A and B are shown apart, each in its own frame.
Chain A
């Protein structure tokens, strides 16, 4: 099987280049990651991230034949040859297929990805009704591989300002959580023209998500919720003025 892999070692190479590899597949080689591990055995200068090898950790996200995905969940038989592998676009390359995800995690951090609840801790856990718990389905499963965010042109052009589909879906996951008390603060945190509203519904995020999630729908729900809450705020203000 033929591969063409992006190579770049900033300590040695003046610029990136594509290196061809030819690999004899062996029995049991089913996923792209299996092939990459064999290539790495042939050429140990090749750098890539991997960990769980079953689509849970999100470490081996890369650009596979032009589309972001996980090497460990991509079947070799589905790939056209030569298989062109590049690092995820839009982030600085550390080496070969390894990118610097600092910016990605800074955005994730900026949406405060934890429950904010000022009530005293109950004796056991904070309970949710099954209906409230169901609202988190399709949101909490994100493995933060970065495939969606780095496939998004809005992130490419404004990586320092636009939170990106992954971060925004995480934001909605906490906004919609019945145990969280910081909805207003979270919505306010996404008000500037870039953080949320730079999403133009291109939907690359939906196309590439290896977990088949829909960040675009979560982003649309945040926008709807922002209008709803702003209108409610206005109504409340009008009622209080009238009652005075």
Chain B
């Protein structure tokens, strides 16, 4: 249902909705993460490894980072469109940010699966 609202049929709504959905995913993850910290209380490295080890938790954490990257990409894109009027400069800045965000996402995945 929501997927259709994210298609080109709704050019305005899809960007807005994608940003909101990514925010909901992040808020939900942070809530669960806070609960996990309270329940597990990882005090040392072994405790953190235990907390982050389950595959589903790593997938959920990666989903959080995917949402973060999507949220940031949409936000920065809007800021650039509003404030950088030189099209070439805007394109360069946007590509830099895109590359940086992809590196961050890859880095997060590497960290998560190296535990």
Contact = CB atoms under 8 A, between A and B. Distances in A.
Contact of B12 (A153, A158, A193, A200): A193
B27 interface: no
B12 A157 contact: no
A184 interface: no
Interface of B is mostly: helix
A234 B60 CA distance: 29
Q: Indicate the size class of the contact surface on chain B.
A: 10 to 19
B11 interface: yes
Interface stretch (B13-21, B38-46, B47-55, B98-106): B13-21
A227 to B, nearest CB: 7
Given A157-B83, A231-B1, A190 B12 contact: yes
26 contacts: A154-B82, A157-B81, A157-B82, A157-B83, A158-B82, A190-B12, A191-B10, A191-B11, A192-B11, A193-B12, A193-B15, A196-B12, A197-B12, A197-B15, A200-B78, A223-B13, A223-B16, A226-B13, A227-B5, A227-B13, A227-B17, A230-B5, A230-B10, A231-B1, A234-B1, A234-B4
Interface of A: 153-154, 157-158, 190-197, 200, 223, 226-227, 230-231, 234
